[in-house]
Amino acid sequence: MKEVNMALPVSVGDLLRSDLLEDAAYRDDGLCVVGIFGKSNMQPAPLKESLINTLADKHIFSLFGEPEDGGTAESHIQAFYSQENRVLYLLLSSVCNSRQLLRACQSLSAGIGHSEAHDFWKGLDRQHWLHLLYMFSVCHVLLLVHPNQTFDVTYDRLFRALDALRQKVLPLIRAAIKDCPVSKEWKVNCRPCPPRLLFVFQINGTLKISTNTSESGGNPDKPKKHSPRRRLQHALEDQIYRIFRKSRVLTNQSSNCLFTVPANQAFVYVIPAVDEDPVGALLGLLRSNCVLCDQESTTAVSGPRRYQQMRRSARQSSCNRDSGSLSMSSQLVDCSLKEFLWQHVELVLTKKGFDDSVGRNPQPSHFELPTYSKWVQVASRLHQVLIKNTEEELAELATKVQSQLKVLEGSLDADTKFSENRCQKALPLAHSAYQSNLPHNYTTTVHKNQLAQGLRVYSQHARGVAFQRYALQLHEDCYKFWSNGHQLCEERSLTDQHCVHKFHLLPQPGEKPDMDRNPPILNHNSRGRSTSSCNCGRKQAPREDPFDIQAANYDFYQMLEEKCCGKLERIAFPVFQPSTPDPAPACNQAQRLPCEASGSGEAERLKEPSTAQSHTPGDPSLSLALSLGQSTDSLGPYGDGDGTETQVQQKRPSLVDRQPSTVEYLPGMMHSGCPKGLLPKFSSWSLVKLGPAKAYNCHTGLELPGFLPGSSFLLPWDLVIRSRSEEDTGLTEPLNGSSSSWPAPNKALVGKRGSTGGLGRSRRRDDVARVFVGFEYEDSRGRRFISSGPDKIVKALGPGGAKDPATRVLNTDMPLYIPSPSQGRSLKPHFAQLARLFIVVPDAPLEVTLSPQVQPGPPPCPVFHPEQTDIVLPPDGLWVLRFPYSYATDRGPCYPPKENQPFNNYKVLRGILRATTANPPQQ
């Protein structure tokens, strides 16, 4: 342990941890502990420090220290030990002092909120309260210093709260000092005696007390027994005693009180104000010197009882020259501050104690005068428990003491108490606003909207520092109400409709739904039903609103396969074939951003003519008639076989013809952003053959259910077959039957007839082949029709069939969704979705290639395509390509457009069909 120099003030923690070498003459004497606390104003010299300098007759504390001296805003106790007088002074500094308050204001950050600032100040107040409780537990005499002459009634509430806190922590303090070498009464009451509280006021500079004022009928010559300052002290004593007795801070039995005041001694001292008149101050000094000179023969009285003789003497000594004022010759002389305090200290040092109990049967209170070593042991244990915990064995007691501070907070923090009461009254109003007009089950969006309404009502009524804390409680209460049986399932179907069930779990494979479980086990259901056709379109059936891509694009059509089109000829798309019993989905797709996926898709489409030649304007593979702006229904095959296409055709097998993985499968659908070498577990597309080419009659159209009247006719697509001689055709190119091209602009074909006949024969003439194409749309009610353009529906009124050529639908981006022509009576608009593509391939030397590409949303939505990008349709057949019902990636579904969204962002890219002349068989 280190030694400390008590010539200077030290912190009480350093004092208790040090080895103070006492003089042998004082080692066994008793010790009186005097505590000083209170408030100060913005005067240059601190009041409490100057008091100790006056009491000790030494310059101990610096009176003009700068507030920016590196100190902190926390409360702390400084100690000064006067061995010759056997008095230990404890000085408490806190935010009640101007210096500490200035440091606290400087430590606050600029952007701190109101609640955080209030917590900061209350944290400093809690430190101050614990330090005060410590002072009331180790001191014999306490001085309450106040910077003006008016008693602060907030001390009444503070002392009542401290008394309640002391009663709460008494068992903890007893456990801390049970092994200390002090008396049993000290251990039981946890203090050497009920401390006596004295009050020191300072007269404000604005209040002047004249020494020659006349009273008693205005007779200036009538002697007065007490000076004005003494009469002020008596008035303050009466006021303070009445206040404390009324609030029961003071009772008849002093041993039960937090502190006591003497019944027959002065306990209020008023320090006079400094005279601001320098001339008057000099005259006062001259007058006092003259009085001293006239009374030199009077013997000076010394000793601790000097104040009693001074009351009956007219002589004013030098010790009260700075604190007392000269009275009239007929008045009693006021004592000094040191004399005022020493009359109480003398009772402690002489072991008489304080007999402050009143009433008919006053009970004597316990009193003990400890030596310095005994006091240090007790004070050190209390310091560990109440102020600074550095010992592990007392850590639990210190934690329990901190938890009891709520007793003080409820009594002293009026702002928080008012705010809590106000916020507690606002909470039921906010709960009612949240629950108003709520369905039994609702979604997160409804919950957030209602919560915002509840917070709006709460903010209208709640006030104060507890606003944020109770707002968080409102959040928690509303969330508990919502999650306790009112939460609606958040899953949305592929058509963007919510599940109508409350929060539930999905059944595992082989598990049955169970409504009694919590949460229940159910399948998703949006109560949405629609009517759809099978793969070939010959049978319609109702379907539930799907929630997963397999139910939307595979399960429903597989169910109808057994009843309708299971035996039809088809072209199967490649799917995942596992080689292990537990294949895993590919996980690298989630690392690809949508923009990257879209960009890679564009790059692939630019590399492959099957995906880009009909979509890019100005592409050399476009028809010559279209590039020249000629309108004709006699169109040759796509592509002229230039070097660029031949080069790309040679590269194609290296990009797509690779062995797919048999260990990992594609979790979503095939699209432009998918990695190569992965296949899905099922195909969302279907390509079946309804029959031969003659199965379609251009006079009657498609004889399938659900079609609107006159809208079931396919569009003709006439293709020129290069099989005639150069003289007949008038062309300059040699014809070898190996390729075909578009006819020359504005040049009529030889032998062509305008009538369109049926395809019972293979072709009408050697140079023309007719392909029929139809984009079929179907709405949710099963209404079907063929579209002859992005904004036109086929309407054939006569027996001749559709007159519009198929060039418009093949050379433009067809919309994926269009408004349904039969809206019905519902206010909600219905839209029809592209469901199928009908292709009638004649028995001719043609090679019709199918390469569908669908972009079901605005960029960066990827482009979806089947598992096989280019499908060559065999001749002489009526083929039906069924598009997916819904589109989804591994990131989620691509929802249909809303009412206010344009349909042109949802489209089937142009170039879905290409036709070339097949090589004739060798003879």
What are the φ and ψ backbone dihedral angles of 893, each rounded to 5 degrees? -80, 155
Q: Which of 201-205, 275-279, 423-427, 878-882 has the lowest mean pLDDT?
A: 275-279
The pLDDT of 753-777, averaged and rounded, is: 64
Task: Specify whether 407 is located in the same domain as 479.
Answer: no
Task: Specify whether 697 is located in the same domain as 816.
Answer: yes
Distance of CA 747 to the CA centre of its chain: 73
Give the residue ranges of DSSP H helices in 436-569: 444-461, 467-483, 549-550, 556-560
Residue 314 is predicted with a pLDDT of 34
d(CA 843, CA 646): 27
- At 698-709, the pLDDT tens digits run 888 898 999 988
Task: Specify whether 425 is located in the same domain as 364.
Answer: no
Residue 748 is predicted with a pLDDT of 43
Contact 478, 487 (CB under 8 A): no
The pLDDT of 735-747, averaged and rounded, is: 40
With CA atoms as reference, report the closest residue to 154 among 243, 238, 241, 93.
243
What angle do helix axes 467-483 and 444-461 make, rounded to 10 degrees?
150
With CA atoms as reference, report the closest residue to 654 among 608, 610, 700.
608
Contact 91, 78 (CB under 8 A): yes
Domain assignment present for residue 317? The answer is no
Task: Specify whether 378 is located in the same domain as 426.
Answer: no
Residue 666 is predicted with a pLDDT of 86
d(CA 466, CA 237): 39
Residue 280 is predicted with a pLDDT of 75
The pLDDT of 556-569, averaged and rounded, is: 89
In degrees, rounded to 5, the angle at the alpha carbon of residue 902 between the alpha carbons of residues 900 and 906 is: 130
Task: Specify whether 403 is located in the same domain as 475.
Answer: no
In degrees, rounded to 5, the angle at the alpha carbon of residue 8 between the alpha carbons of residues 5 and 13 is: 70
Last residue of a domain, one of 387, 411, 435: 411
Task: Specify whether 569 is located in the same domain as 429.
Answer: no
The pLDDT of 207-231, averaged and rounded, is: 59
d(CA 478, CA 436): 12
Residue 36 is predicted with a pLDDT of 92
d(CA 16, CA 374): 11
Contact 274, 323 (CB under 8 A): no
Q: Which residue has the higher pLDDT, 198 or 796?
A: 198
Residue 539 is predicted with a pLDDT of 92
Q: Which residue has the higher pLDDT, 43 or 65?
A: 43
- Structural domain range at position 404: 10-64+73-107+118-207+225-278+338-411
Q: Which residue has the higher pLDDT, 50 or 599?
A: 50
**Residue 527 reports pLDDT greater than 50:** yes
Give the residue ranges of DSSP H helices in 436-525: 444-461, 467-483
Burial 783-820, CB ≥16 within 10 A → b, else e: bbbbbbebeebbbbeeeebbebbbbbbbbebbbbbbeb
Residue 898 is predicted with a pLDDT of 84
Q: Which residue has the tokens 């492959």?
A: 608
The pLDDT of 283-287, averaged and rounded, is: 80
How far apart, in Å, are the Cα atoms of 793 and each of 262, 731, 815, 838?
108, 37, 12, 15
d(CA 851, CA 913): 6
Q: What percent of the chain has pLDDT over 70?
A: 74
Last residue of a domain, one of 411, 440, 469: 411
Domain assignment present for residue 440? The answer is yes
Residue 205 is predicted with a pLDDT of 60
Q: Is 72 exposed, middle or buried (0-12, 13-18, 19+ CB in 10 A)?
A: exposed
Q: Which residue has the higher pLDDT, 75 or 241?
A: 241
Domain assignment present for residue 371? The answer is yes
Domain assignment present for residue 544? The answer is yes
With CA atoms as reference, report the closest residue to 807 among 913, 665, 919.
913
d(CA 283, CA 428): 72
Please give the DSSP secondary-structure letter assigned to residue 746: T
Domain assignment present for residue 237? The answer is yes
Residue 461 is predicted with a pLDDT of 94
With CA atoms as reference, report the closest residue to 885 among 775, 778, 809, 773.
778
Q: Which of 51-65, 142-156, 773-787, 793-807 has the lowest mean pLDDT?
A: 51-65
Residue 502 is predicted with a pLDDT of 84
Distance of CA 774 to the CA centre of its chain: 54
d(CA 362, CA 284): 47
- At 362-381, the pLDDT tens digits run 777 888 888 888 898 898 88
Task: Specify whether 463 is located in the same domain as 538.
Answer: no
Q: Which residue has the tokens 């697509």?
A: 717
Residue 318 is predicted with a pLDDT of 37
Domain assignment present for residue 212? The answer is no
Q: List residues bridging with 540 in a β-sheet.
A: 533
Q: What percent of the chain has pLDDT over 90?
A: 24
Mean pLDDT of the chain: 76
Last residue of a domain, one of 390, 411, 432: 411
Banded pLDDT at 399 (limits 50, 70, 90):
confident
d(CA 640, CA 568): 35
Task: Specify whether 419 is located in the same domain as 374.
Answer: no
The pLDDT of 120-146, averaged and rounded, is: 88
Contact residues for 658 (Cβ-Cβ < 8 A; gap 6+): 676, 677
Residue 778 is predicted with a pLDDT of 93
Q: Which residue has the higher pLDDT, 743 or 811?
A: 811
Instruction: Give the chain's domain count.
Output: 3
d(CA 241, CA 627): 110
With CA atoms as reference, report the closest residue to 686 among 853, 870, 884.
884
Q: Which residue has the higher pLDDT, 748 or 890?
A: 890
Domain assignment present for residue 734? The answer is no
d(CA 315, CA 300): 9
Task: Specify whether 819 is located in the same domain as 855.
Answer: yes
Q: Which residue has the higher pLDDT, 465 or 734?
A: 465
Residue 613 is predicted with a pLDDT of 34
d(CA 795, CA 713): 8
d(CA 281, CA 274): 9
The alpha carbon dihedral of 62, 65, 69, 72 has a sign of positive
- Taking the C-alpha atoms of 493, 499, 503 and 507 in order, what is their torsion angle to the nearest 10 degrees? -60
Residue 644 is predicted with a pLDDT of 35
Contact 423, 470 (CB under 8 A): yes
Banded pLDDT at 640 (limits 50, 70, 90):
very low
Banded pLDDT at 415 (limits 50, 70, 90):
confident
Domain assignment present for residue 253? The answer is yes
What angle do helix axes 114-138 and 372-386 make, rounded to 10 degrees?
160
Banded pLDDT at 597 (limits 50, 70, 90):
very low
Residue 759 is predicted with a pLDDT of 44
The pLDDT of 379-403, averaged and rounded, is: 81
The alpha carbon dihedral of 656, 657, 658, 659 has a sign of positive
730: left (phi over 0), alpha (psi -120 to 50) or beta: left
Task: Specify whether 421 is located in the same domain as 385.
Answer: no
Task: Specify whether 705 is located in the same domain as 850.
Answer: yes
Q: Is the peptide bond before 705 cis (omega within 30 degrees of 0)?
A: no
Banded pLDDT at 652 (limits 50, 70, 90):
very low
Task: Specify whether 418 is located in the same domain as 405.
Answer: no
Contact 197, 267 (CB under 8 A): yes
| 3 state DSSP class of 461 | helix
The pLDDT of 790-809, averaged and rounded, is: 78
- At 822-845, the pLDDT tens digits run 776 666 778 899 999 999 999 888
